Amino acid sequence: MGRTRRASGFRLLVLVCLVALSGTASAQTRLMLLSPDEAVRLRLGREEPWGAGPTVRGSTGPRILVQEPVVRQTSNGPVIETPPSMSFFIVFEANGSPVDMESLEIKAKKGILSMSLTPRLKPFIEGTSLKVGSVTVPEGRFLIQIEILDKAGAKAVEQYRLEVRS
């Protein structure tokens, strides 16, 4: 009887550990792109201009291809309209010279304020793409800038207006 009780206790302990680890793994794959405090600082108000900024595309620079969420091209530049929870998938395509993924820089911007999102996103780099299955962003309007170089030093810079609403 004592041996059965110990075996059952051990099984219960293993089960609890597995459940805890699976919860941790799913929490680790969910990325919060901006904390609520960061969103307050970087959220654009209705009165603030948020037209697309610099776009640098040379004949030899890498191509930035946002696959998810959907990008809508407007007369004021590219716009991403999304709910607070989304998938994020960007492909960086070589255009003459191989893409230098170490040079990738992704920022949230508001006026002169700029915050790098790159450290949060680097773990999700797969080859020459960035793929995050579950990203959450607080509601609001934000400006996101993506910069990348190729191995020859040619640069691509694109800005996207991100509009997050339920």
DSSP 94-153: -SSS-EEEEEEEEEEEETTEEEE-HHHHGGGEETTEEEEEEEE--SEEEEEEEEEEETT-
Q: Is residue 24 domain-shared with residue 37, that is, in the same domain?
A: no
Q: Is residue 112 domain-shared with residue 155, that is, in the same domain?
A: yes
Task: Specify the higher pLDDT residue, 58 or 37.
Answer: 37
pLDDT higher than threshold 60 for residue 128: yes
**Domain boundaries, position 6:** 1-29
Q: Is residue 46 domain-shared with residue 22, that is, in the same domain?
A: no
Q: Is residue 107 domain-shared with residue 140, that is, in the same domain?
A: yes
User: How many structural domains are present in the chain?
Assistant: 2
Confidence of residue 77 (pLDDT cuts 50, 70, 90): confident
What is the reported pLDDT for 48? 66
Mean pLDDT on 86-101: 94
